[in-house]
Homo-oligomer: A and B are copies of this chain.
Amino acid sequence: MKHKLAIIGFGTVGQGFCEILLQKKEYLKKKYDFEWSVVAVADFAYGNVYNENGLDVEEMVGLAQKKEKFVKDAVDWETLELIERCNADTVCELTFTDLKTGGPAVDHVKTALASGKSVVTSNKGPAALMYPEMKKLADEQGVKFMIEGTVVAGTPIVNLAEGPLAGCEISKIRGILNGTTNYILSEMEKGLPYEEVLKSAQELGYAEADPTGDVEGYDARGKVTILANVVMGAELDIEDVACQGITKITPDDIKFAKEQGKRWKLIGSVENKDGKVTGSVAPEMVDLSHPLAGIMGATNALTFTTDLLGDVTIVGPGAGRIETGFSILTDVLAIGKR
């Protein structure tokens, strides 16, 4: 039987995910006995569509790339109604992140879970702001709420901690969780001041026009909150996480670190001390011999400190259309493969 998907938000990640689904159709069937159909798509730009027997995904990706609206299978249901009424097994919430209110994503997730559908999301909003509540709702409904894509794109973090590291107790997680700031800090080592590097990062598309969310550490803070609540089982609010960005780092600071055999990194960390979990985001001078010191540019990395294995570090891409699309696939596969 095909695993039926609803895709809410057909932007970069939604389209990337669909491209992977199309490209890997045969592979997924052969290797994992996994077959899929996309029954519902909702997007504020392209419209809402529904077909309980499966939509024409290839055509829809083509339309979206030409910025044209969906026509076939169009419905006049609002998105929440679509989520509730559709016959999807799993709802993929891929709309924009709003770390203040959670945005419409929160209602999308709640509605999906309440109507007995699993949710997979790369949206940091619902995961950072209300994971404990959503997880409880999912458990009550006997469905899944999976969020691998909210931290370090598809690089396995949550699924690594919960799968292959199962049995280890994790006392600390520390890492580089934001590619934009890591890129800026890497470039500043060439002796350039912060403002100049930020400007060229914006021109290259590595930083947004309003870079606040990245450079003030808010994006990393959202991820730290998620790690604390998902991996450590805490119930932190995002404001509980102390947060300092990189805007005050000067070329002199960079030079000073260099002279000491160190390097500035924006480090997000979560620590469990005797059952009390705390989180923080702050620039730190990391020793050059530390695995995190070598992580340059847009790459992300996380070190888990465990009781049985000591330190285990994973390094991988922290963003990207296909890389984040994969995070959705991996969680959907975990739910739907036989």
Contact = CB atoms under 8 A, between A and B. Distances in A.
Interface of A: 20, 24, 27-28, 32, 148, 153-156, 159-160, 163-169, 289, 291, 293-296, 308-317, 322-323, 325-326, 329-330, 333-334, 337
Copies in the complex: 2
Contact of A330 (B20, B166, B169): B166
A166 B34 CA distance: 12
Contacts of A310: 316-317, 323
Nearest to A156: B164
Given A166-B333, A167-B326, A326-B168, A314 B317 contact: no
A90 to B, nearest CB: 15
Nearest to A295: B291
B309 A155 contact: yes
A28 B294 CA distance: 36
A326 B314 contact: no
Query: Would you call the interface of chain A mostly helix, strand, loop, or mixed?
Result: mixed
Contacts of A333: 166-167
Interface centre among A167, A310, A314, A334 (most CB of B within 10 A): A167
Top 7 closest pairs, chain A to chain B, by CB: A156-B164, A159-B164, A312-B316, A308-B326, A313-B315, A163-B163, A294-B294
A167 B317 contact: no
B291 A294 contact: yes
B167 A164 contact: no
Nearest to A326: B308
A334 B166 CA distance: 9
Contacts of A317: 309-310, 312
A308 B20 contact: yes
A239 B313 CA distance: 32
Given A27-B169, A313-B315, 12 more contacts: A32-B167, A148-B164, A153-B309, A166-B337, A168-B326, A291-B295, A308-B322, A309-B323, A313-B313, A313-B316, A314-B315, A315-B315
